[in-house]
Structure 1
Amino acid sequence: MHAGYGCFATRGAPPECAADDAHYPGTCAAGCYDRRTSDIAGHRVENEDMVDLPNRLPLRFRLPGSSG
């Protein structure tokens, strides 16, 4: 499941979860696709998939001079 507002979307995972066999948190951007062509049973098939961007959930900001 992805949650977003049309430009960026976050793949549904709790913020404290790291990528593992059960969770694959990440970010996707609208219009950011990867196009590949594969040979399947003698036919050329073109696939277009969303590109996974780095997981933005653990991103933290701190102002200069602040603690924590």
Structure 2
Amino acid sequence: MRPNSPFVVWRASSHSVNGGACVEWAPEEAATTGTVPVRDSKNPDGPVLAFPAAGWQAFVATLHKHATR
């Protein structure tokens, strides 16, 4: 994974409002490597967490399930 590479394109969460504190992920990197890199938008040079794609999908599905209750 190359999270600090200038070629990695980071995307903010769709639930982010006005560029606020949110989670960013790199979908192209995820599609290429099968690993989903995630970082804090307030600290783009900070640590990056990496999740297997299946684990990330399960996490997002669980959040979505609980958010729609």
Regarding TM over 0.5, the answer is no
Of structures 1 and 2, the larger Rg is shown by 1
**Higher normalized helix content (fraction of residues):** 2
More strand by share: 1
Structure with more contact order per residue of length (Cα contacts < 8 Å, sep ≥ 6): 1
TM-score (norm 1): 0.37
